[in-house]
Amino acid sequence: TVYRLLYDKSVLPELLTKLDVFTGEAIPDCVFEIRDEEGNLLLKSVTDGNGKASIPLDIFENGKTYTYTEVEAPDIYNLNTEPHEFVASFDEETFEWTAEKIEVENTRKTREVIVRKVDAETGEPLQGCVFTIAMIDPETGEQKVNAKTGEPIYLVENAVTDENGEYVIPEAPMGTYKFTEIKAPEGYEMDEDLTGLVFTIDNNSPETIIFEVTNTGDIAVMVVSAVAILSVCGIAFVMIRNKRKANE
């Protein structure tokens, strides 16, 4: 049985806080096991909407060492299975129980993302494409900011394709993002109609996602509307077209 613990005088409030290492946000619905020094399971606790867990006092003995270990986490997160020790102490002057409060961070699961810039007519790789991939709120479309620092969250900012026309992000945390081209390669121009591609990386995404951004002499067209339009052998292909300068 999993118990959701209430805040009242009979609990040790906010013993631990669960945070997203990428966004700084609190993580609800993480399940922890609380065990005593002999390894006996005392109860399971679940973090609330603020990412906090509280423990009932009646399971403690003064000065004893206990551990809490994460056993379940929301599906976009890697499980943090490291046991954390704490000592529960009773102050006879204040008649209060205390324990060190600890922030525990979880990392998001990741996928590889490759941005590839090529000429649509020749297939030649294009170096020098500058782009940004920002994390956005999937409901509002607004760029997300780190809950702890207040800084905007980017997967990459002002990244540049190399001599192979590529930029590789080996471990892109799961989430919703917007791809925006900042500068076209030399000899090409950006199109104002190309506003960017919104995509989500989740557990259904393939291990590798390739964005193939092609430049043509015609019009700018976003060829796909979702990431996993074409998936072959665990690779998703996404194509975006820009126009080439008229004098080229």
212: closest CA among 150, 136, 129? 129
- Check if the beta carbon of residue 235 is closer than 8 Å to that of residue 208: yes
Cβ(172)–Cβ(110) under 8 Å?
Answer: yes
DSSP SS3 for 85: strand
Q: Are 23 and 29 in contact (CB under 8 A)?
A: no
Q: What is the pLDDT of residue 206?
A: 92
pLDDT in tens, the chain (248 residues): 233 333 344 566 567 889 999 999 999 999 999 999 999 999 898 999 999 887 777 788 888 899 889 999 999 999 999 898 888 887 776 666 677 777 889 999 999 999 998 887 888 999 998 999 999 999 999 999 999 999 999 999 999 999 999 999 999 999 999 998 888 888 887 755 555 788 999 999 999 998 887 766 443 333 333 333 333 334 445 555 555 554 44
Helix (H, G, I), strand (E, B), or coil: what is residue 18? strand
| Strand partners for 106 | 20
pLDDT of residue 24: 96
Which H or E run contains 93? none
Residue 11 confidence (pLDDT): 64
Q: Which two tokens stand for residue 124?
A: 């030649």
Residue-level pLDDT at 14: 65
Token look-up 């009979």 returns 10
| Distances, alpha carbon 75 to alpha carbons 86, 106, 119, 170, in Å | 27, 12, 39, 20
Q: What is the pTM of this model?
A: 0.79
Task: Tell me the DSSP string of 64-88.
Answer: -EEEEEEEE--TTB------EEEE-
**Length of the chain in terms of residues written:** 248
Q: How far apart are CA 213 and CA 198, in angstroms?
A: 14
Alpha carbon 19 to its chain's center: 11
